[in-house]
Amino acid sequence: MNVLETMKKCIREALPDLDMVMGWEQGFDTLHATPLFMETAEDVDRLILGPTCVQSLAVHLPSLKGKKIGVVVKGCDSRAVVQLLSENLLNRENLVIFGFGCDGVVSLSRLKKKLGALDFIESAEKKDDRLCIEINGEQQDLPFDDICAPKCLTCSRPNAIISDHFAGPQRTPRIPAKGKTALEKFEEKSLPERFDFWKAQMQRCVRCYACRDSCPMCVCRDHCVAVSRNPHFVSQEATASENFMFQLIHVMHLAGRCVSCGECERACPMDIPLGLLRAKSTEVTSALFNQEAGLDQEAVLPLLSFNIEEETIEEHD
Amino acid sequence: MHIGVFVCHCGSNISGTVDCPQTAKAAGEFPDVVYSTDEMYTCSEPGQESIIRAIKEHNLDGVVVASCSPRMHEATFRRTVERAGLNPYMFEMANIREHVSWVGRDKALNTRKAIDLIGMAVAKLRNGTPLFSERFNVTRKLMVIGGGVAGIQAALDAADSGIEVVLVERETTIGGKMAKLDKTFPTIDCSSCVLGPKMVEVAQHPKITLYAASEVDNVSGYVGNFTVQVRKRAVYVDWDACTGCGLCTEKCPSRKTPDPFNELIATTTAINIPFPQAIPKKATINPDYCLQLTKGKCGVCAKVCPVGCIDFEQQDKIEEVQVGAIVVATGYDLFDYSVYKQYGAGKLPDVITSLQYERLLNASGPTGGHVLRPSDGAEPKHVVFIQCVGSRDKSKGRAYCSSFCCMYTAKQAILTKSHLPDSQSYVFYMDIRSPGKGYDEFTRRTQELYGAQYIRGRVSSIHQHGSSLVVRGADTLAGMQVEIKADLVVLAVGIEPSRNSQKLAATLHISADTDGFFMEGHPKLKPVETNTAGVFLAGCCQGPRDIPTSVSMGSAAAAKAMVLFSNEQLESDPQVATVNATRCVGCYKCVKTCPFGAILESEDRWKNPKAEVLPTICKGCGICSVTCPHGAIQLNHFTDNQLLAEVNAICPLPTI
C-alpha cells in the first residue's frame, strides 16, 4: 500500500470519532491543491498527498477549538501544531494528527518565473528529483530544487514531528547546501540599500492581509491590531510606512513563535520576501533564548513567561 | 481639550541651559494648548497657586508641568490639580531637568528637546482619561522577616504601638548575628547584655507571635492585604510542650554535630538549644545527625524527656498568615573567603573568620571566653588581623565596603589585649573607616592604649611554618615588605546578603542591587521603603550597617508600618491594566507573563474565555499589555494610544 492509501485507511478508521479531518484535494488543475474537509468516508477518496499540497492546514485549527478535528500535516505544518499546543490554543485530546514524510512542495511563484504563465496545465507529477509537467501541450522536465519552495531546500524536519498516525516511510532531512543563507546574503548590503529595498517592497504591498490570514500563528483573527481603531497602531492608508508598520507588527507578534513555515511568503500575491523579516526575528530570538519555536509542546516560551533573570542572557556585568 | 503648560525654571537648574520663556511660547502652539507660561519654582506655593488660578481662569481640563522627574513631584502636582477640581490623572509631567538641562550643555538644542518633550506630554494628555481609585480595607498586622537586632527592634516598636506582629525567624532562635558577638564597639559593652532583654521582651510581648525555625514560602496580595505562607520547619520536638530543660542535650550520644551558632568551630549534640539565652528556648533535632532519624536506632532523648515532647514523625507545616505590611530584616552572611588562595583558602585551621573569633572571645562560646586557637588549643601570642577580605575587592566581585569591619577589628584587637595581656596584635588595613560617634577615638585607642600595630597594606600570603603561621604582606607607608610570625590570623571577612535573599526578593517583588542587597525606594528620601508598597527594609539586608544604624532602621520601618496602619482604608492606584473584554480572545498570554499573578483565567457570561485583572494586585508594569498581540489589555494612563501619540509627536510620519 502506498503512502496515500495508508493515509486514507487511517483517516477512514478515525473519522467516525471525529467531526472532520482536514487534508488536501486536487484543485482546478493538477498543479493546484485545495484544502479538503473530510466529514464522510466518501470525502476521503478525494484526498491527495504530494508536492502540490502546499497549504498549512494548521491555520484553521485555533478557530475549530472545541471540535474534534483531524489534520494531515507535513513536517513544517506539524511545527505549527506543536506551537499552537504549547500556547494552549488547541486541546490535544480533541486533535488527531495524521503525519507523513514530505518530499518537498512546489513554489508556484518560482515555477511561474521559470515557465511564464501557468495556464493550461495538463499534468504535473514528481518523479524522483524532477518535476514533469505538461503545459500548453508541451512536456517540461524541471529539476525539483529549481522550483520547490525555498524552505524545502534547507528542510531539516520533513517528517511530522508530532502525530497520532504516521503514513509511509520517514524521509531523511536535507543537509543544507554550504554557503550563505538568504538572510546572510541580504545583510551584506548596506543599510541604505536595505532600506531602499524594503521601501520598494512595502510600496508594493497591497495590504490584502493574505500573509496574516495564512499564518498559523496569527490567532487574533477579528481583533487584529491592523484594523483596530483603539488601539490605533496603523491606519488604512496604504503608504509604505503604514504597510511597513503592519508588517513589522506581524513580525514582532511572531518573535519567538514563528515556525518558519513560509506560508506568509507563499500566500503573498505580490511576492514580497516576507520570510526574510521572519528569518531575522527568529535569528535574534534563538540567539537570545537558545530556543526554537514549535519543537516541544511542553516548552515554556521565553517571550510568554516571566523570569527575573533569563538563563541565557547575561544581564549584569 | 483645554490644556495648560507650565514650564519650570527650577531656579537656575533648568533655566541655566534651557530657554524657558521660549519653551513656554513654543508649547503654546501645540494642539489644544490654550495657556502656557514659565515659572521660577512651579512646585512652590505661589507656583502651585498659579496652576490653580490658570485652571479656573482658562477653564483648563488638563495640565502639563515641564520640570523635574515625576519621581520627584508628580504626586505634588497631582494634588495641586485635584485641589483645583481636575482629575489627578489629567496631568502629565515632562522631565526637562534630569532628561535635558542636567545632561546637555547646548542651550539651543536643550530648548528644542524640552519643547519636544512637552509636545509628547501634551499628545499623551490629549489621549488620557480621568482615572479613579478604589478604597479597600487594611489588615492591621505586621510581619517582620528576620529576628536579628533590626527585626527585633521593628517588631518591638510596632507591637508597643498596639500593632499585632508576626516575627518569622529562619534559625531556631532569634538574635541574629548580634547574639553571637562578645562585646560591641565603641563602648565594649556586652552584646548579649544589651540584646538579651530585648529578645526576652519579644518572647513575652502579648502582641508578638514568634515563628522560629520558619521561612517565608510565598507571598501574595498587596499592600494592606498580604497573604504569607510560612513554612514551619520540622524540629522533631513539640515546642508547645518543651520546657527547655536541656536534659535531652545532655544525654544525646551524637556529639559530633556541627554547631552553626558557634560558626562551626565547635560541635554540639544532634538535639540542641543553640545557647543558654536562646529565644524560644526550645530544643531542636538536627535530622542529618540524629541517630534515630538517620539510622532508626537511639531515641535516648525521647526516653529522658520529662514531658515527652520528642516527635520523630514531625513534618514541615505550612501556615497562612494575613498581614498588612512586611518588614524585611534578613541581615547578612559572611562572604566565602575560600576564594582567597593566598589566605589559605579555608584550609589552615588557625586562620579564622572574625565571627569565629567572636565566639572564641565570648564567655558563652566553646572555649568559655579563653582565646585558644583551633589547631592545638594553645594561647596565641601574636594575632594578625586582616581587613577587607571580600570587601573593596573588585577582582572578587566585591567592590563595596562592608562598613563595620574596621570597627570590630579594632574592638577585637582591644579584647585580645585584655584577654591575653602578653599578646601583640597586628592589623593589616587599607583605610581605617570610623565615621561614627566616638568611632575614630576608639580606633586610635586601639593603637595608642592597647598597642595594636596597624600596618597599611595587603597580605600576599599566609603559610604554615611549624606550629605557627607566616604572614607576608606589604607595608605601603614604610614602602617595604613585612613578614610576621603569627599564632592566629583573623580575617575581617566582608558581608553579603543573607543566603536565599534573592529568592525572597522575587517572592516579595522587591528588587536588589547588583550586589544582591535589597533596593530602597529612594537612596536619600526613602531609605527603608521599597518600590513595593507595604514592604519595608531594616538592617543589613539593604546594605552593610552597624548595630546602631540597624536599630534605627528597625524603628524607622516600624514607624512606616504605623503610618500605613493609621489609615482605616487605603486607595488603590488606578494606573493598572484593564481588559477590553470584547477584544480579548482568551489566549491567556498575559496570564503567563504577569510577574505578579495579577491576571486570572476567567470567562464572560457566555463562557467565552477572557482574561481578568485583579486591580489591587496589578503593579502597572505593562508586561501584559506588550504581550497581548491585539491590544486587548491596556495599562491605564499608559495606553497604547497614549504611547503612540507620544511617538508620533516626536517622529512625524516620514514621507515614503
Rounded Cα–Cα distance for residues A302 and B252 (Å):
52
Domain presence at residue B647: no
Query: How far apart (Å, rounded) are the C-alpha atoms in residues A199 and B206?
Result: 75
Task: Indicate yes or no: CB of B587 within 8 angstroms of CB of A308.
Answer: no
Q: Which of A224, A228, A240 sits opposite B656 (nearest CB)?
A: A240
Bigger pLDDT: B18 vs B651: B18
Closest to A131 (Cα-Cα) out of A153, A150, A146, A121 = A146
Q: Residue B469: pLDDT above 90?
A: yes
Q: Tell me which DSSP letter residue A84 carries.
A: H
Distance CA B212, CA B282 (A): 10
B55/B41 Cα distance (integer angstroms): 18
SS3 B619: coil
CA dist B199 and B158 (Å) reads 15
Report CB contact under 8 Å: A199, B656.
yes
Interatomic CA distance for residues B638 and B622, integer angstroms: 8
Per-residue pLDDT of chain A (317 residues; tens, 9 = 90+): 689 999 999 999 999 999 999 999 999 988 999 999 999 999 999 999 999 999 999 999 998 988 999 999 999 999 999 999 998 889 999 999 999 999 999 999 999 988 888 888 888 888 888 888 888 888 889 999 999 998 998 888 999 999 999 999 999 888 877 788 889 999 999 999 999 999 999 999 999 999 999 999 998 878 888 888 888 899 888 899 899 999 999 999 999 999 999 999 999 999 999 999 999 999 999 998 888 899 998 888 888 888 877 777 776 55
CB contact B623 to A (< 8 Å)? yes
Do B358 and B459 have their domain in common?
A: yes
B339 and B485 in one domain? yes
CATH of the domain at B589: 3.30.70.20
Q: Are residues B170 and B215 in the same domain?
A: yes
Q: Last residue of a domain, which of B463, B496, B529?
A: B496
- Residue A256 contacts by C-beta under 8 Å, 6 or more apart in sequence? A285, A289, A291, A293, A301, A302, A303, A304
- A197 touching B (Cβ < 8 Å): no
Name the grid cell of B151.
Answer: 527585626
Are residues B358 and B488 located together in one domain of the fold?
yes
Q: Which residues are within 8 A (CB) of A105 and not within 5 positions of it... i.e. 6 or more apart?
A: A51, A52, A53, A54, A74, A148, A149, A152
Write the CA distances from A133 to A16, A30, A297, integer angstroms.
38, 9, 39
Same domain, B180 and B49: no
Taking only the tens place, the pLDDT of each residue in B13-44 is: 999 999 999 999 999 999 999 999 999 999 99
- For residue B471, how far is the Cα from the chain centroid? 37
- The answer to whether residue B318 is domain-embedded is no
Domain count, chain B: 5
Same domain? For B400 and B446 the reply is yes
Q: What is the pLDDT at residue B655?
A: 59
Is the distance from CB of B79 to CB of B48 less than 8 angstroms? no
| CB-CB contact of B349 with B468 (8 Å) | no
Domain with residue B42: its CATH number is 3.40.50
- Chain A residue numbers with beta carbons less than 8 Å from the beta carbon of B593 are 303-306
The answer to the question of residue B651 being in a domain is no
CATH of the domain at B384: 3.50.50.60
Q: Are residues B343 and B405 in the same domain?
A: yes
Closest by Cα among B212, B205, B256 to B234: B212
Cβ–Cβ of B593/A305 closer than 8 Å? yes
Residues B181, B277: one domain?
no
Asked which of B518, B540, B565 is the last residue of a domain, the reply is B565
Min distance A240 CA to chain B CA atoms (Å): 6
Q: Which residues contact A255 (CB under 8 A, 6 or more apart)?
A: A281, A284, A285, A303
Closest Cα in chain B, distance from residue A213 (Å): 15
pLDDT of residue B134: 87
ipTM of the complex: 0.83
Range of lowest pLDDT (B89-98, B219-228, B385-394): B219-228
Domain that holds residue B287: 247-304
Best probe of the B interface among A306, A310, A315, by most B CBs < 10 A, is A306
What would you report as the CA-atom Rg of chain A, rounded to the nearest whole angstrom? 20
Please state, in angstroms and rounded to a whole number, the distance separating the CA atoms of residues B596 and B609: 21
Cell 476567567 -> residue: B602
| Section B287-310 average pLDDT | 92
Contact B629 A220 (CB under 8 A): yes
Q: Do residue B165 and residue B185 come from a single domain?
A: yes
Q: Which residues does B292 contact at the CB level (< 8 Å), separation at least 6?
A: B298, B299, B301, B302, B312
Q: Could you tell me if B596 and A306 are in contact, meaning their C-beta atoms sit under 8 angstroms apart?
A: no
Mark yes or no for CB contact B595/A306 under 8 Å: yes
pLDDT, tens digit, 9 for 90 and up, residues B579-633: 999 889 888 889 999 988 889 999 999 888 899 998 888 889 999 999 998 889 9
Residue B133 lies in a domain: no
- Co-location of B402 and B471 in the same domain: yes
Specify whether B550 is located in the same domain as B582. no
pLDDT of residue A306: 85
pLDDT of residue A25: 96
Is residue B271 located within the same domain as residue B208?
no
pLDDT of residue B446 exceeding 70, the answer is: yes
State how far the Cα of A194 lies from the Cα of A216, in Å rounded to an integer: 28
